[in-house]
Amino acid sequence: MLNIKEESFKIKEDIIKVRREIHANPELGFEEWETARLVADYLRSLGLEVEEGIAKTGVVGFLEGKNRDKVIAIRADMDALPIKEQNECEYKSQTEGKMHACGHDSHTAMVLGVAKLLTKFKDQLEGSVKFIFQPNEEQTEMPGGADTMIEEGVLEDPKVEAILGIHVNPQLEVGTVGIKEGPIMAATDKFKITIKGEGGHGAAPHETIDAIIIAADIVQNLQSIVSRRISPVEPTVLTIGKLCGGESYNVIADEVEIEGTVRTVNPEVRDKVPLLMEQTIDGVTDIFGGDYTFDYQFGHSVLENDKKLTALITQVSKEIIGEDNTVILKNPLMAGEDFASYAKEIPGFFLHLGVSNPDRKVYPWHHPKFNLDEEALPIGMAILAESAMEYLKK
């Protein structure tokens, strides 16, 4: 009888080749035309039903098993980032200023690998598998890839019961995976505050409303929302990443723009933060007689791993890589992930795959030297494939 882990290691080289090809040819969100073509060709070569052009560049492959109406989905993201790669390797990005620095090249390659594996195991598939390749996970504006794919019906016809996703994680060693029930990735929101004062001569501050002084107080006071007004046991991040104002050293600025992001795990806290922020902004601006606009945009929801799926995948992982290598994560990551949109609709599970190697310096996600140990790929494929097969048996 075929063994999924063995079969997965047999196609390792093939999948590494695919990953390197995608890595060398990175494309940004909603522009993944060549990647989508590679994906569609690969799926067709396996004999799957293929649909292209969903959410612009999205691709779906359908592998029909014994039951067409019992369906689990496996999702990969295909987009790269606007980063200039600093790695020196033969498969280095060939497009200046674009790079697969989040590992989506490997997600796409692995899910193609899972499609190949499950095609071999088709006779044992009690249901069917939908392979979802989405664009634009790294969106800067909502809606991004996942929401658009859902809107265009990827979870319907035939209806998908549950969904699995994967992300490489450079904080975990190759050979291991990270698993957590419940919240695994944070809700990610963004905001823009514009402070409006009245400019004037740098030597006559009393005749002006100094937008820079207001902004400085707002930056300080916003930090105390997390430290003083939200419970210390509720993970919350409030980061200001951009602050712009002023034209000249001797002129008092009339306007300052402040932009940042808020990360939360508890939906109640998520709803509360913008209200507290506005109180602070309003209060501080009022003291100085200035004015403001406050734009707060909700982004990804918190990503929650379904309890039953978590139990199933934990079991499968222990069988494939052993109990010691199945790392139970204590805390969610405060980064966001648009897989959350699928997991809000149907039970979902998001696996963290260890890709760091103790013999080599590891750079974090989105770093120009981000890279991964490709030995992890067959492990990710085996766990996803086996989990899908086991799920369909139930």
Contact residues for Zn ion, defined by CB under 5 A = 102
Q: How far is the CB of 103 from Zn ion (least distance, A)?
A: 6
Closer CB to Zn ion, 338 or 386, in the complex: 338
Question: Is 23 assigned to a binding site?
Answer: no
Q: How far is the CB of 221 from Zn ion (least distance, A)?
A: 30
Question: Is 300 assigned to a binding site?
Answer: no
Q: How far is the CB of 165 from Zn ion (least distance, A)?
A: 10
d(CA 276, CA 287): 17
Closer CB to Zn ion, 70 or 167, in the complex: 167
d(CA 222, CA 261): 12
Buried b (16+ CB within 10 A) or exposed e, 228-239: eebeeeebbebe
Q: How far is the CB of 186 from Zn ion (least distance, A)?
A: 13
Closer CB to Zn ion, 62 or 370, in the complex: 370
Closer CB to Zn ion, 55 or 269, in the complex: 55
Question: Is 366 assigned to a binding site?
Answer: yes
Closer CB to Zn ion, 102 or 174, in the complex: 102
Q: Distances from the Cα of 68 to the Cαs of 12, 71, 72, 158, 193, in angstroms? A: 29, 7, 10, 7, 50
Phi, psi (rounded to 5 degrees) for 173:
-75, 145
Residue nearest to Zn ion (CB): 102
Question: Is 89 assigned to a binding site?
Answer: no
User: Which residues have C-beta within 8 Å of that of residue 388, sequence separation ≥ 6?
Assistant: 72, 74, 114, 118, 129, 164
Contact 130/155 with Cβ under 8 angstroms? no
Question: Is 167 assigned to a binding site?
Answer: yes
Q: Which of 107, 162, 108, 101 is nearest to 130 (CA)?
A: 162
Q: How far is the CB of 176 from Zn ion (least distance, A)?
A: 19
Binding-site residues from annotation for Mn(2+): 102, 104, 138, 167, 366
Residues at the binding site are 102, 104, 138, 167, 366
